[in-house]
Amino acid sequence: MKKKQYKEHDNSGTRPFVLVKAFTVSSLVVMLTATIVIAALNAHWVRKILLEKSKEYNRLLVENLNHQIFLRFVWPVVFKHGEIKLREPDQYRLLDTVVKSTLHSFHVEMVNIYATDNVIAYSLDKVRIGKKNAGGVHYEKAMNKEIISKLVQQGNWMELTFWFPKETKIVTFAPLMQEVQLTREKDRMVIGVIEIVRDVSNDYQQVFKLQGLIVVSCAIIMGILFLILRFVVKHGEKIIKRRAEERLKLEEKLRQAEHLSAIGEMTAGVSHEIRNPLGIIKSSAQLMKKKMAKLDPGSSIPGIIVEESTRLDRIITDFLDFAKPKIADLRPCSIEEIIEKNIAFLSSSDEHNKIKIIRAYQKNPSDILGDPAMLYQAFLNIFLNAFQAMDYENGRITITTWYEPGYVYAGFTDTGPGIDEEILKKIWTPFFTTKEMGTGLGLGIIKNIIQAHHGEISITNAEPSGTRVEIRLPAAP
């Protein structure tokens, strides 16, 4: 029945979580794909804008070069010699000077000037001078007064496939116009073609780097999100997987708590009923002991009755202390002063006086909000448990106090043998004890007192041996 119930709980909790996980993972994949696509499109748009800007830049260079050539070369040469003959060294040098001075610092790699018969009349690369039909279809369009630009990229197949070529150049063909002042456009005549080759590899590589940076950054961010999501999903799966088991355990603990509560109420009622006749028995035994001291001094029966009555009264007191709700009268007090009162009381006993007590208090102690009487009882029980666990001749207890924002801590560490790990798991269970004469309620009473102060208590094994009790209590404002 429990297994069936567990499966029902598990399925009911896991089903919506699986849907959420599937939706989240699919959304993450879609977001990653969309981000990469958008990054690629952005890079494509940037390349397109860069190409248009490069074309416009080349167009302005050509127009400026056209103006300078006509103004500084064509007019002076025609005016002086009547015609242009670049075979003459003086004219070639003048044109070369005009071209180089005009394009200086503009990162132009190559300039070719074509005559009207598609022959290269001038070039920065003198080997190309005289080459025929080198302009192709772009030359023909330029002769028809069109400005044509094209992108030339070089690299291996991988570089060209993924759009990051080793070299990127923009080539522009433009007509070399005869500029005539105060004339209309139709009066301007084409006297040649200018070809400009400009290397824009650095600009395009910056775009490619930006594209790669965007894609890599998106991939890293999405990868981190995926890892975080995967961690959250795995953690969530573990939580949901344990939830049904914990629910069953909590239900079991609730039943046990209800059972213990019923036992506690019954014990409290019975204890009150027992305490009155027990007091009469104890008083009668003490009276009998006095009379027997005269009649039969060797008889120990009255003493045994008194001793066992006292022990039974102590057990009843523990039951009542455990069952009775703890309501603390909270007020500012010093935790060190309460501990010192415990030490003073224990030091009056010859047996307890043999235990060495080491104090390691905070230099500037902070007050706590506490009930001194209740805390005195809790600390006394801690001391007595530690004394019972140690050798009186070589025993030692170290008391430390320290402050953290909002809380004051106290630690009690003894040099006893420590607590077995299996027993350590059960020490807070009511009525569980390893002592022959114990009730198993001492630690429960301590815990109830600390919780009544809105504090916490923990018990662990110390290194290399011994037991450590650590208490946290709210600090006074």
For CA atoms 320, 326, 327, 329, the dihedral sign is positive
Identify the pLDDT of residue 182: 36
| pLDDT tens per residue across span 410-468 | 999 988 888 888 887 777 776 666 676 666 677 777 888 888 888 998 888 888 888 89
User: Quick one: tokens of 346?
Assistant: 């224990």
Residue 338 and residue 382 in contact, taking contact as beta carbons nearer than 8 Å:
no
Identify the pLDDT of residue 411: 92
Identify the pLDDT of residue 6: 43
Residues ≥6 apart with Cβ < 8 Å to 177? 66, 70, 145, 188, 189, 190, 191
Identify the pLDDT of residue 8: 45
306, 458, 448, 318: which is closest to 375 by C-alpha? 448
Q: Which residues of 27-65 are buried (b: 16+ CB within 10 A; e: fewer)?
A: ebeeebeebeeebeeebeebbeebbeebbebbeebbeeb
Containing 17, the helix (H) or strand (E) segment is: helix 2-69
Identify the pLDDT of residue 400: 92
**Residue 474's beta-bridge partner residues?**
407
Residue 35 and residue 222 in contact, taking contact as beta carbons nearer than 8 Å:
yes
Identify the pLDDT of residue 227: 80
For the chain, the structural domain boundaries read: 11-211, 326-474
Third-level CATH fold of 11-211? Beta-Lactamase (3.30.450)
CA angle, 258 then 420 then 388, to 5°: 90
Q: What is the pTM of this model?
A: 0.42
The CA-atom distances, in angstroms, between 3 and each of 92, 244, 248 are 101, 10, 10
Containing 288, the helix (H) or strand (E) segment is: helix 201-295
Q: Do 11-211 and 326-474 have matching folds?
A: no
Identify the pLDDT of residue 79: 80
Q: How far apart are CA 472 and CA 456, in angstroms?
A: 5
Identify the pLDDT of residue 15: 56
In SS3 terms, 90-107 reads as HHHHHHHHHHHHHCCCCC
Identify the pLDDT of residue 412: 92
Q: What is residue 232's three-state secondary structure? A: helix
Q: How far apart are CA 186 and CA 196, in angstroms?
A: 25
**How far from each other are the two terminal CA atoms of the chain, in whole angstroms?**
53
Question: What is the CATH architecture assignment of 326-474?
Answer: 2-Layer Sandwich (3.30)
Identify the pLDDT of residue 409: 92
Helices 335-347 and 372-389, axial angle in degrees (round to 10): 50
Q: What is residue 120's three-state secondary structure? A: strand
Q: How far apart are CA 399 and CA 336, in angstroms?
A: 10
| pLDDT tens per residue across span 85-132 | 888 888 888 988 998 888 887 878 899 999 888 899 899 888 888 888
Residues ≥6 apart with Cβ < 8 Å to 392? 351, 352, 354, 355
Residues of the chain with pLDDT under 70: 1-21, 24, 43, 155, 158-164, 180-188, 257, 259-261, 263-273, 275-276, 278-279, 282, 294-299, 311, 313-326, 350-352, 392, 430-434, 436-440
